[in-house]
Amino acid sequence: MNFVRLVVATLGLACALSPSATVGAQDRYPSKPIHLVVPFAAGGATDIVARLVAAKMGNALGQQIVVDNHGGSRGSIGADIVAKSLPDGYTLLSGTSTTHVINPARYKRLPYDSVRDFEPISLLVMVPSVLVVHPDVDARTVKQLIALARANPGKYGYASSGDGTSLHLAGALFARMADVDIQHIPFRGSGAALTELISGQVSMMFDLLPSVLPNIKSGSVRPLAVTVKQRLQTLPDVPTMSEAGLPGYETYTWNALFAPAKTPKAIIDRLNAESVKAVKLPEIRQKLAELSADVVGSTPEELAAHVKAELAKWTPVVKATGAMID
Amino acid sequence: MIRIKSSQDLFGGAMLIAVGFLGWWLVQDLPMGRLVRMGPASTPSLISLILVGFGVVISARGLLIEGPGLDAWAWRPLAIITGSIVAFGALLERAGLVAAALALVIISTLAAPDKRWGELAVFAVGLTVACVLIFKSFLGLPLQVWPL
Amino acid sequence: MTDFIGNLALGFGVALAPINLLFCLIGALLGTLIGVLPGIGPVATIAMLLPITFNLQPVAALIMLAGIYYGAQYGGSTTAILINLPGESSSVVTCLDGYQMARQGRAGAALAIAAIGSFFAGCVGTVAIAVLAPPLTLLAQQFGAAEYFSLMVFGLVGAVVLAGGSVLKAVAMIFLGLLLGLVGTDVNSGAMRYTFGFPDLADGIGFVNVAMGVFGVAEILSNLEKGESRDVMSGKITGLWPTMKDLKEAFPAILRGTGLGSLLGVLPGGGALLASFAAYALEKKVAKDPSRFGKGAIEGVAGPESANNAGAQTSFIPLLTLGIPNNAVMALMIGAMMIHGITPGPQVMTKQPDLFWGMIASMWLGNLMLVIINLPLIGIWVSLLKVPYRMMFPAILLFCAIGVYSLNNTTFDVYLTAFFGVVGYLFIKLGFEPAPLLLGFILGPLMEEYLRRALLLSRGDPIVLISRPLSLTLLLMAAGLLLLVIAPTVQRKRAEAFKEP
C-alpha cells in the first residue's frame, strides 16, 4: 500500500516511531527488496507477527521486506514455494508449528521436507494455549475435569479449530496423557468454536491465549490451566498443566523464520542478527506481549533442534488420532 | 419415435446427470461414516444422487414438454475471451504485469466486431499504465511489473 | 434513555475530533475504491494497513478500519449494478435487478436508491448496535449447530424465489452449488474432496472466482455473441435521479430490508449475506406483480442493499459484546484492538466508553460521508457506461484478472475464473440461472458442517433438529415458505394443462 501507507503514516506522525537512519549499503546483501512469504491468509496471528517483524527488519537492513500471503493447504503451499526458491536470501518463510511439524506428521505426501529443505534463521515467538471450560462444567481444576471425564466416558466434547489443527492435537494429547474418552468436535476456526463453548454447546477447549483472553476476563469461560512450563504474567492465578496434575504436558504454537536450504551462512547470520534485534526491541516486544506472544529470538541452531524435538513429540500423537492424510 | 421438444432441457438434464455421477464416483474412496460421525463421503454422495434425480426429471421434461431449444454457440468470442484470461495468467509471473495486461487487452479486443487498431494501441497502453498506477503504486499489491 | 443520549454525546465528541473525522474519511474513500475494484476486498486491504495503524491512536485506527469495511460494501454494489460484477458476496442479488435497471438506462436511479437505502440502513443499524446489542447477542447465543442448520435450510428455500424462470431448474442449481461448495478439505475429517490433485483447491473454490466467472465473464461472452458490441447499455440514459414513483416504491422495501438485515447480521458466518438474499425473496413475495423482478424492479435493489448494509453494521455486535469475530474482517479488527492493548469484549463498553461510543458515532458519520461521496459520483459512474463496449469489456476483464490474482497471489485463481466464465456461458445456453447456484455454493459447506456437528453433539440423534424449539420454528418456516413458492407454480401448471387441447 505504498501511497496509502505514506498518507496514513504521515498523518500518524505525531505518535510515530523515531525514524531510524538508513545505513549506507556497504554490504552487497540485501541489494533489492526481500520477500517474506506468510503461508496463511492475511490478518491471522502469523501474519500480524510477520508484518511487525518485517517492518523493523526492513528498516535495519535498508531494504523493504515485502510480505506475500500465499495461503492454502494449511500453509503447505506457501512453505513449498519457499522450499523451492533460490537460496539467495531474497525469499524467506514465516514458518509455524503447522508448516514444520504438524503437516509433515500428517500428510503422507508433502511436497517439502521441513528439515531438509529449509535453513533455520530464528525462532521468533511462542504462543501459549489455555485449557478452558464452560462455567457450568462441574470442574474447578484439571484433576476434577479428568475425574469427571473418566466417570462419563464419551459424554464430554472438546472444540477445536478443525481436524488436525494444533488445537485439535492439544486436545488429543490431553486425552492420551490423562487417559480419558472425550469427543473431538471440529469447527471452522477457533472463533466459531469459542462461540459454542460460551453458549455451552461444547464443554471444553484448548485455545490460544490471545483469542480466549477476553472471555476469560469477562468470566464467560473458566480457565483451568495454561499449557506452558511457567505461569503467565497475564493469568498469574492459573496453574500450569504440570502443577495441575498432568506433568510433562506442554503445547504451544510458534513462529519462526526460515530460508531455503543452502542459503549462505553469512546471509543467515545477518538475518538472524536483525530478526533477533527486531523482536527484542521494547516497542515490538510490547506489541507482541499484547498478542500474548512470548519473544524467544533463538539462534539458527536452537531453531533446528527445536523443529526436530517437536517432530519427535507430535508425530506419534498425530498417528494416534488417525488424522493421517494421503 | 420420441421427438425432442426442448433440447435446452434435454442437454441441461444430461449435464446434471453427468456431474451427479462424477460427483458420486469421485468420493467413493472416502468413508461414509455413520449418523453420529458422518464421513466425508456422506453429504457429497447424497447431493450427487439428488442431482442425478433432477437431471433425469429435467431431461425427461425436455422430451415431453415443449420448451426452448439450444442456440448456436458463439465459439469465437468464447475462445478469444477465455484465451485472453489464460494468457494473462501465463504471462503475469513470468513476464510481469505490463506484458500480461497488454496481452489480455489486445487479445480480448479481437472479439469485438468493431475494433479499431489505432484506438486499441492507445487504449491498451493507457489502461496498462493505469493498472500499474492503481494496483502497484497506489494499493501496493505485491505484483511484479516487469520481467525478472 | 438519558444515559443513551449522554453516551451518544460522548461518542460524537470523540468522532467529531478533526483527526478522527479525517481517518473516517480516508477509510470511507479507500473502502469505496477497493469495493469498486473487483476482487480486492476489505480483508486484504485492512491486513495491509494493520501495521501502519500501530502508530495511530486506537480510536482513529479503528474508525479508519471500520470505514474501509463499510465503504467496501458500498463500492461492491456499484460494480454489481453497472457491470453485473458482484464484488462482495452480499451484492450477488443486487446484480439481478440492478444490472437490468442499468441496461434500461436507469443506472443512476439504481445507484441512488442503493446509496439512500444503505444510508438509511446504516443509521438504523448504528442505533441498533447502541440500543439492542445485549438482547441481540443473547439471540445469537441461542443459535447452536441445529439452529444454524435449520436457518440455512430456510435460506435455501428462499433461494428458490430468486429464480426468474423454471423453479425446477433453480432447485437443481442450488444442489449443484451445494456440491461445488464441498470442494476442498473436509473440516471434520481433513479429507480432500474433489480437488483433482490441485493443492490450490485444498481450501475450496473461492467465492470471487465463481462470482466473477458466472456473472462477469459470462455476461461479457453473452453480450459479444449478440454481435452488436457498440452499445450494450441500450436505450439512452434517462435521468440520474430516482423519480418520486421510484422512491415511493422503494421506501417500504428499504424498511423491510433494514429490519431483516439488522437481525440476521448478528449471526456469525453468512449473516449479512443471508440477509440480502432473504430481503430479495421477501420483496418478490410481497410484490403485487412478482414477474417484474429480474427485469429491473427497484425494490429488488432497495431491499437487499439496505439489508446488507444493516447487516454489516450489526455484525459488529458480537465483536463488541463478546469479543468474538463473526467474519474475517471482524477478526482483523480484533487484531487491531489487541495490538493497541484493548481487549475486545463487554468490558470495552464500560472501561473505554470513549472508544466504544466514539466508534459507534463514527459509523454513523461514515455512512453519512459515504452518501456524500457517492451521490456526486453517480454521475461519473453513469457516464462511464457511455464508453464504447469494445473498450469497456477488456477493461473489466483486466481489473477482474488482477483482482482475482491478488486474492492469493496465485495464477491458479485466474485460470479458475476463466473456467467459471465458460461454465457461466454454458448455464446461459442451457437456461440455468447462476444466483441460486451461488447461494448453494456459499451455504453448502456451512450446512454440512452444522449438520454433522449437530449430530456429533447429539450423538447421532437427528431428532435434535426438531426437539429444539428455535430449530423447529425455523424448519416450519422453511416448509411454509416452500409451500408459498410452489403453490403458484402448481396452479399455473394446472392452468396451462387445462388450456392445452
Pairing of strands A118-133, A294-295: antiparallel
A198 and A120 assigned to the same domain: no
Residues 31-60 of A with CB under 8 A from C: 41-45, 47-48, 51-52, 55
Residues of B in contact with C37 (CB under 8 A): 134
Query: Kind of pairing, strands A204-208 and A157-160?
Result: parallel
Whether the bond into B147 is cis, omega within 30 of 0: no
pLDDT of amino acid B108: 94
Query: Which subunits count as partners of chain A given 3+ CB pairs below 8 Å?
Result: B, C
The answer to whether the Cβ–Cβ distance between C191 and A325 falls below 8 Å is yes
Looking at the domain assignment, is residue A107 inside a domain? yes
Contact C177, C441 (CB under 8 A): yes
Distance CA B57, CA C389 (A): 40
Residues A101 and A148 in one domain: no
Contact C415 B85 (CB under 8 A): yes
Which other chains touch chain B, taking contact as 3+ CB pairs less than 8 Å apart?
A, C
pLDDT tens profile A289-306: 877 788 999 999 999 999
Cell numbers placing A168: 485439535
Domain boundaries, chain C: 2-499
Q: How far apart, in Å, do the first and last CA atoms of chain A sit? A: 39
Beta carbons of B81 and C405 less than 8 Å apart: no
Residues near B58 by beta carbon (within 8 Å), at least 6 away in sequence: B9, B12, B13, B16, C168, C169, C172
> What's residue C316's pLDDT?
80
Beta bridge partners of A258: A93, A120
Do A1 and B139 lie within an 8 Å CB cutoff? yes
Q: What pLDDT, on a 0 to 100 scale, did the predictor assign at position A10?
A: 64
> Whose grid coordinates read 478533526?
C18
| Residue-level pLDDT at C444 | 84
Whose cell is 449473516? That residue is: C271
For each of chain C's 501 residues, which pLDDT tens digit applies? 567 788 888 888 888 888 889 999 999 888 888 888 877 777 777 877 776 776 788 888 888 888 888 888 888 888 889 888 887 777 888 888 999 898 888 888 999 999 999 999 988 988 888 787 777 767 767 777 888 888 888 878 877 776 667 888 888 999 999 999 999 888 777 788 898 888 788 878 888 889 889 988 998 898 888 765 455 555 556 667 888 888 888 999 999 999 988 888 877 666 677 788 888 888 888 888 888 888 889 999 999 999 988 888 888 887 777 767 767 777 778 777 777 777 676 667 777 788 888 888 888 888 888 888 888 888 888 888 788 888 889 998 999 999 888 877 889 999 999 999 999 999 999 989 888 898 888 888 888 888 888 888 888 888 888 888 888 998 998 888 788 777 766 555 555 554 443
- CA–CA separation, A173 and C41 (whole Å): 38
CA–CA separation, C102 vs C85, rounded Å?
13
Average pLDDT of chain A, as a whole number: 85
Pairing of strands A34-38, A91-96: parallel
Measured CA distances, B135 to A311, B141, C23, C34, C406 (Å):
41, 6, 22, 10, 10
Beta carbons of B15 and C34 less than 8 Å apart: no
A9 within a domain of the structure (yes/no): no
Residue A315 scores a pLDDT above 70: yes
ipTM of the complex: 0.94
- Closest chain A C-alpha to B59 CA, distance in angstroms: 38
Positions of E strands within chain A: 34-38, 65-69, 91-96, 118-133, 157-160, 183-186, 204-208, 222-226, 252-260, 294-295
Q: Choose from C187, C189, C326 for mutation: most chain A CBs within 10 A.
A: C187
Quote the CA–CA distance of C394 and B90 in Å, as a whole number: 17
Label the pairing between strands A118-133 and A252-260.
antiparallel
Query: Is A37 within 8 Å of A76 (Cβ atoms)?
Result: no
Instruction: Supply the pLDDT for residue A6.
Output: 66
**Cα–Cα distance, C202 to C193 (Å, whole number):** 8
Co-location of A119 and A67 in the same domain? yes
Mean pLDDT to the nearest integer, A143-159: 92
Rounded to the nearest angstrom, the minimum Cα separation between C372 and chain B is 23
A69 within some domain: yes
Do A137 and A115 share a domain, yes or no? no
B116-139 pLDDT tens trace: 888 899 999 999 999 999 888 887
pLDDT at A26: 41
- Closest to C86 (Cα-Cα) out of C284, C308, C287: C308
Are B140 and A2 in contact (CB < 8 Å)? yes
- The residues near A237 (Cβ < 8 Å, ≥ 6 apart) are none
The residue among C408, C451, C455 with the most chain A CBs within 10 A of its CB, best to mutate, is: C408
| Nearest chain B residue (CA) to C388 | B114
Say yes or no for a CB contact (<8 Å) between B138 and A35.
no
**Which residue range forms the structural domain that includes residue A187?**
128-226
**Which residue, among C46, C68, C142, C322, would best test binding to A if mutated, counting the most A CBs under 10 Å from its CB?**
C322
CATH number for the domain spanning A221: value is 3.40.190.10
Contact residues, C window 285-314, toward B, CB-based 8 Å cutoff: none
Nearest to B127 by CA among C387, C217, C410: C387
C202 touches chain B (CB under 8 A): no
In a domain, residue A246? The reply is no
Instruction: Average the pLDDT over A28-53 and give the result.
Output: 82
Q: Identify the band that residue A21 occupies on the pLDDT scale cut at 50, 70 and 90.
A: very low
Query: What is the grid cell recorded at C471?
Result: 430449530
Which of B139, B144, B148 to substitute to test the interface with A, most A CBs within 10 Å?
A: B139
> What pLDDT shows up at residue C139?
72
Provide the domain count of chain A.
2
Question: Is A293 in contact with A120 (CB distance < 8 Å)?
Answer: no
CB A271 within 8 Å of CB A298: no
* % of chain A beyond a pLDDT of 90: 41
Chain C residues in contact with B15 (beta carbon < 8 A): 426, 430
- The per-residue pLDDT for range B24-64, each reduced to its tens digit, is 999 888 888 877 778 888 899 999 999 999 999 999 988 88
- Nearest CA to C194 among B28, B16, A125, A295? B28
Are A58 and A113 in contact, with CB atoms under 8 Å apart? no
Q: How far is C314 from chain B (nearest CA, A)?
A: 28
How much is the pLDDT for B14? 93
Please count the other Cβ atoms lying within 10 Å of the Cβ belonging to residue C410.
Answer: 21
Buried b (16+ CB within 10 A) or exposed e, A162-176: bbbbbbbbbbbbbbe
Residue C493: predicted pLDDT: 57
C-beta atoms of B81 and C221 within 8 A: yes
Question: Is the same domain home to A122 and A133?
Answer: no
Closest Cβ opposite residue C418 in set B34, B86, B119? B86
Q: Looking at the domain assignment, is residue A11 inside a domain?
A: no
Query: Does residue A18 fall inside a structural domain?
Result: no
Identify the pLDDT of residue C226.
Answer: 75
Contact A43, C43 (CB under 8 A): yes
**Residue carrying C-alpha cell 476486498:** C41
The pLDDT, as a whole number, for residue A277 is 93
Whether A194 is covered by a domain: the verdict is yes
pLDDT at A5: 66
CB A193 within 8 A of CB A211: no
The values of phi and psi at residue A222, to 5°, are -110, 125
Domain identity same for A38 and A120: yes
Chain B touched by C324 (CB under 8 Å): no
Residue indicated by cell numbers 463499510: C70
- A157 and C457 within 8 Å at the Cβ level: the answer is yes
Specify whether the CB–CB gap between C265 and C275 falls below 8 A: yes
Give the separation between CA C175 and CA C161, rounded to whole angstroms: 15
From chain B, the residues in CB contact with A3 under 8 A are: 137-140
Q: Label residue B81 by pLDDT band (50, 70, 90).
A: very high
A236 falls within a domain: no
Enumerate the residues of chain C whose CB falls inside 8 A of the CB of residue B61. Answer: 168
